[in-house]
Structures are given as structure tokens and as C-alpha cells.
Amino acid sequence: MWSSRWLFILAAAGSAVGLGNIWRFPYITGENGGGAFVLVYLICIAAIGVPVMMAEVLLGRAGRQSPINTMRAMARASGAPRAWSLIGWVGVLAGFLILSYYSVVAGWAVHYVFRMGGGAFEGADGAFASQAFADFLADPWQVLGFHTLFMVITVFIVARGVSAGLERAIRVFMPLLFVLLAVLLGYGVASGGFAAGFEFMFRMDWSALTVDGVLEALGHAFFTLSVGMGAIMAYGAYVPRQASIASTVTTIAVLDTAVALAAGLAIFPIVFANGLEPGQGPGLLFVTVPIAFGQLPLGAVFGTAFFVLVSFAAITSAISLTEPALAFAVEEYNAKRSRVAVSLGVICWLLGVGTVLSFNVWADVHVVGELTVFDFLDYVTQKVMLPLGGLFIAVFVGWVLPKTIVGSQLGLREGAATLLWSVLIRVLAPLGVLAVFVYAIFYG
């Protein structure tokens, strides 16, 4: 059990707050109408993200086991076919595959902690920063080394269990993450570009919000809360019985969104203060941001703090990705948690080598079509496995799981709240996740 409701909130928020919050959300907000996009995104969070996350948490708490065994037990309790346990299998496998390449990308952030701390980007221009990033990716041994370091840290934490490992890490990392974000936000305000950064993110430009933008808001609302991969279900198994799932999940969603918005308000003022263009994806995080900090007073110090923040966010997400597979192996084989953690870590590390080589030695090796090993893993997990997992979780809880179990877990009684829940989980959430799936497959 988590020792308190707030520890679960911090743990689940840590799972949700990852690399995507820090570079992707601020950028897609600015590119899709600013405040208009944020408004649509918040509606999508409330109508799709929160209900599916509540469904996953209630399944975890009702089953009190790993996602696979929880789904077996819940299918049995519902008199439903055993095949529903595939939800657990898909989630566990998706989380495991995501961690294999997430660890590699997170290793880039750890590498930049040392590069920024060493003053490598003081006074750097665009050509230098771009070349530095390209040279790093071209060196498989360097990338492999930081992938290894990140995986070792993750395995060490999860091997120690809920109290000594997960809780202790969350107690340290999450408060530090919030403090660092607040410091960087203040630094962004003082940089001189805050007005431009705020305008980029929050201008209410409805003309810039297209159908694609709405679907992007819907997709990010689903993915940002880490649903569909079993992590939240695994964490839900440790939630105290008296904790309110609805208020807890709402708090997590608010924290997740607040961190994403604050990250944008910390990054973009610094970017605009230096007259730089806000690039997308790794280009923003590993090229534009180092240039920006390199031009500012005490830039090396605050740039290092920024990449420490990114690394903390990555670690808290990686911990949650490990837990579903680890919990199942411990239950199924009555194995020692530390041994399972090391074994899974080694397998995940080996899978990650394919991603490491995708950026250098195997750059021309394509698994399917034009997809490298990294591209293929990212496509299969993000665009197929997670949406399908979320869709079937919503359908199972909305249409299959007995109302007595749902009602007891959520504390629902007949009335407006029950009606609202039914509409969200049985209709809006499945349709929303299905739209994400179709859009990702055919247009993403």
C-alpha cells in the first residue's frame, strides 16, 4: 500500500509527467491556437483522460494484483471470457517496450546534465549546438553508456519495493521537480522574453485550431496520463481503500497539466529572449534550449538545473513503466523482487540497444517500410497498443464490470454523478479513444 493518498498522487503524477510534457505539449499548444488549444485540451482531459484513468485505478484497487492477474480476476468476477485478461498483457508488454527506448532518450537528458554543467554551451550558436547533438547521437558507445546509467538507476529504485523504493524516490524526486520548475519559471520571467512566450502559448487564436489540432489535443489528453499501459492499474493496486478515486485522479490530471504549462512558460521566454525559433521535439530540448541558456547570465547553472528537471521527470515515468511487468513476475513465480527487477532490466536494456543503434550504426536498417527499430517500437506502442488498451479498459469497466464493483470503488450512488460517469465511460471515452486510434493509424 501507498502510505498515503498523496503519495499515490505524486507517484501517478510522476508517471504522467514525462519528457512529452516538457517539450511536446508547450509546442503543440503554441502551434494550434494557444489558449484555444488549451481549452479544448482541458475538455478532452475531463471527458476522456480522467474517466479512463479512473477506470484503470478502480480496476487496480479492486484486483489488488498485477494488471494481468487483476484483469483475470475482474473477468471472472464479471462472468466474462478470460480473454479480457489480454488487456493486462497488452499493457504490460507496451510499458516494457516503451521503457526500452524511453531509457535511451532519457539518457540523452542525463548526458546534457553533464554537458551543460561543464559549460559546453556558453556562448554557443545554432551550428555548434546542432553539431554537438548530432555528434553525440553518432557515437553508439556514448549513447549506450547513458542508456545503461539510466536503466541502472531505474532498476535500483524499483527493486527496493513500494515503501523503500517507489515511495522514497517519489518523496525526493517530485518535490525537487516542482521546486526546479518554479526556479526555472522565475528565471524565464526574468529573461525578458516572458511576454512573447506567454503570447505564443496562450493567445486565443481559434483560426489556428484545425480539426487536426483538436485530434492532437484529444490524443495528448489520452497519452499524457499514462493510461493504457498498465502502469496506473499497477499503482492503483496499492491505493488505500478509503481514498476517493475521482478526486485523486482529478488532482493528478491538474498537476500533470500544470507542469506541462509551467514548463512551456519556463522554456519559451528564454527561447524568445534570444530570438530563437521554437523548434519541435528533440530539436527544442537538445538544440534550441542549450543555445538559449548559453546566451544568458548563469546559463550553465540554470541549464544544468533544467536537464536535471527533465531527468527527474524521465525517472518517475520509467519507474511506473517497470512496475506492471515486475509485479506480474513476482506474483506468478513467487520470485524475489530484486532478482526480477534486475532480470527485467537486463532484457529491457538489451532491447534498448536496438534504439541506440537506430541513430547511428543501424540508421539505414528498416524493420517495416521506412521505420527504424526506434520508429517501429514508438509506432507500435504509442499508436496501436496504448489506444487499444485504453479503449478496452473503458469498454470493460463501462459495459462488462458489474455496477456493484464500480459503485463500491467509486462511491457512486444513484443520481447525476452516476449518470455523468455512465455517459463518460460508456460513450464519450470509448469514442474519443477510438478517434485517437484511427487518427494515429491513418493520419499520424
Three-state SS annotation for 13-81: HHHHCCHHHHHHHHHHHHHCCEHHHHHHHHHHHHHHHHHHHHHHHHHHHHHCCCHHHHHHHHHHHHCCC
Indicate whether 430 pLDDT > 90: yes
DSSP structural state of residue 177: H
pTM of the model: 0.90
pLDDT band at residue 213 under the 50/70/90 scheme: confident
User: Which pLDDT does position 444 carry in this prediction?
Assistant: 64
Q: Is 182 left (phi over 0), alpha (psi -120 to 50) or beta?
A: alpha
pLDDT band at residue 78 under the 50/70/90 scheme: very high
What tens digit of pLDDT does each residue of 239-278 get?
888 889 999 999 999 999 998 889 888 888 888 887 777 7
Indicate whether 150 pLDDT > 90: yes
Report CA-CA distances (Å) from 172 to 2, 165, 178. 15, 11, 11
Indicate whether 39 pLDDT > 80: yes
Rounded CA gap, 375 and 373, in Å? 6
pLDDT band at residue 238 under the 50/70/90 scheme: confident
Of the two residues 403 and 164, the one the predictor is more confident about is 403
Domain residue extents for the chain: 5-442
Q: What average pLDDT score do residues 123-143 get? A: 91
User: Which pLDDT does position 279 carry in this prediction?
Assistant: 65
User: Which pLDDT does position 281 carry in this prediction?
Assistant: 66
Tell me, what amino acid is at 208? A
Per 3-state DSSP, the chain is made up of helix, strand and coil in percentages (nearest 5) of 80, 0, 20
User: Which pLDDT does position 375 carry in this prediction?
Assistant: 92
Tell me, what amino acid is at 200? F
Indicate whether 215 pLDDT > 90: no
Q: What average pLDDT score do residues 96-121 get? A: 93
Rounded CA gap, 275 and 266, in Å? 15
Indicate whether 280 pLDDT > 70: no
User: Which pLDDT does position 160 carry in this prediction?
Assistant: 84
Q: What average pLDDT score do residues 136-150 get? A: 97
Q: Which CATH number applies to 5-442?
A: 1.20.1740.10
User: CA nearest 129: which of 276, 239, 12, 330?
Assistant: 276
Q: What average pLDDT score do residues 315-330 get? A: 90
Indicate whether 409 pLDDT > 80: yes
pLDDT band at residue 429 under the 50/70/90 scheme: very high
> For the chain, what percent of residues have pLDDT higher than 70?
99
The Cβ of residue 413 has, within 10 Å, a number of other Cβ atoms equal to 8
Indicate whether 76 pLDDT > 90: yes
Q: How many CA atoms lie within 13 A of 287 on its CB side?
A: 21
Q: What average pLDDT score do residues 293-302 get? A: 85
Tracing cell 554537438 back to the chain, one arrives at: 132
Indicate whether 357 pLDDT > 90: yes
pLDDT band at residue 223 under the 50/70/90 scheme: confident
User: Which pLDDT does position 208 carry in this prediction?
Assistant: 87
φ, ψ of residue 362 to 5 degrees: the values are -100, 20
What average pLDDT does the chain have?
89
Indicate whether 114 pLDDT > 90: yes
What is the DSSP secondary-structure string of 217-257? HHHHHHHTTTTTSSHHHHHHTTS-TTS-HHHHHHHHHHHHH
